Every structure is written in C-alpha cells, then in structure tokens.
Amino acid sequence: MRNLLLTISFDGTDYHGWQVQENAVTVQQTLQDAFERICSSRDNVVGCSRTDAGVHANMYCCNIRTENPITCEKLVGALNALLPRDIAALDCREVDFGFHARYDCKSKEYIYKIWNSPNKNPFLYDYSLHYKPRLDEEFLSRQAADFIGTYDFASFCAAGSSVEDTVRTVMNASVEREGDMVIFKVEADGFLYNMVRIMTGTLIDISRGKIPADSIKQIIAAKNRFAAGYTAPARGLYLNKIHY
C-alpha cells in the first residue's frame, strides 16, 4: 500500500468547503471522484484541515493511501485534466505509510485579503473583503502582533464549535499592504472554527474604533466570543502554507 501526499490549490467560491457532505459539492468529493476515475479505486483522501464554504486555498495538502501503481507525475497530469478549472493539482510525492495530512501538520498559515479602496473592484468580489475607509497597516500590524503566543483563544472561536481544548500557539501575525490590498497573515499550530475570520473582524473593528486599540490581550483573556469583533466573510480567506 502506498501513501501519496498531494498538494493542490483551489478557488473555494463554488464549494461547500473541503469535507464531504450530503447534497453539497465539496473539494474532497470532487477530488475523490477524479481520483476514482483515474485509478478505478475508491480511496479515501485525508485533508490537512476542514475549510468553510467559500474559503480558498493557495496551498492545501492531503494524503491518499492506494494500491494503485500510477506515478506521481502522471497522477498530477491526469488530475489537472479531469478536475474542474477551480481546483489545481500542484505536486505529488510518495510518503511513509504512517504520514497523516492533518495530524502531522506542524503549522499552517492563513491570509485574509481586504480590498481597501473607495472603488468597487469587479474582479475581487469573491476573493476579498471590500473595506472602503483607509486602513493603517502599520498600526494594524502592531495590533496583530498581540495574537502571537500560546493562549486559550476561546474568544476567537465561533459558538457551536465542539472543540474542547481551545489553546493554540500563534507563531506569526502581521498586516501588510500591496497597493490597495491589505493582507492579514497568521501562522499557528492549529486554528479554531472561524478563528482567522474573527481575528480579521476584530482588527477591522479596532480600525473603526468599535473596539479600543491595544485591547487584543484583554480580549484573549476574556475567553468569551462576545469580547471579540465580528466574523469577516469567508471569501477573503485563503489557506496559504502548510508546514510538516
């Protein structure tokens, strides 16, 4: 039995997230169907993380355990020929049989894109949050730095999550600007449900004075979802890097 580590990227606009669901098109389902057509075997694809509907991935990893002898190069080519235009296979390599795309992940990086311009951009609606007032990216980057550390991030976890341990380690958090695009970047050993979207909403609420500056440490200490800001929409969020 072989274990293949597959790296893909996808535009999540038309998907109900990664994970297989009844009555909804998901990335995992689409990938498994393509794999089945290529290899004539129904092998389970294990993803590195669940992603919400509308969330994108510049990089997403999954592993497939299969008896099929197809070469990695052929599999990538065949997947790209069969997959729809909004999912791309980028790389494939054989890994130890015990490797698990989710459990062996050391850290993940997400980015959140904010189109920060008074002008509507017809190309970016599904790919960013449009926020018109000018954001001060240096100020926001100093605010975001307060996310760095090992904390109980319960304030940044959506209600309804079944996770019990809400302690996570954030290694990096910063905000930068590329022209009219402001990008919040955060790396952690794991993320809670809606964590990056609530972090982004909190930074925006700080920017517009709804939440005081320099209060992120207090919001974390509150361990209460109501202490944090709003949940920014899924469409600006991208899984960006996976470290094993």
185 with 172: CB under 8 angstroms? yes
Catalytic residue (choose from 52, 126, 205, 214): 52
DSSP string, 185-217: EEEES---TTHHHHHHHHHHHHHTTSS-TT-HH
Query: What 3-state DSSP class applies to 30?
Result: helix
* Dihedral (CA of 149, 112, 101, 242) sign: negative
Q: How far apart are CB 134 and a second copy at their closest, in Å?
A: 17
Residue ranges binding a second copy (CB under 8 A): 9-11, 56, 80, 85-90, 119-123, 125-127
CA distance linking residue 107 with residue 20, whole number of Å: 23
Q: How far apart are CB 15 and a second copy at their closest, in Å?
A: 11
Q: How far apart are CB 223 and a second copy at their closest, in Å?
A: 37
Catalytic residue flag (residue 52):
yes
123 — alpha (psi -120 to 50), left (phi > 0) or beta? Answer: alpha
Q: Report the relative pairing of strands 56-66 and 237-243 from DSSP bridges.
A: parallel
Which CB atom, from 216 or from 242, has the smaller least distance to a second copy?
242
Which CB atom, from 77 or from 100, has the smaller least distance to a second copy?
77
Q: How far apart are CB 241 and a second copy at their closest, in Å?
A: 16
> What tokens appear for 125 in the block?
């609606």
CA distance linking residue 102 with residue 167, whole number of Å: 17
Which CB atom, from 59 or from 175, has the smaller least distance to a second copy?
59
Which CB atom, from 93 or from 217, has the smaller least distance to a second copy?
93
Which residues are part of the catalytic machinery? 52
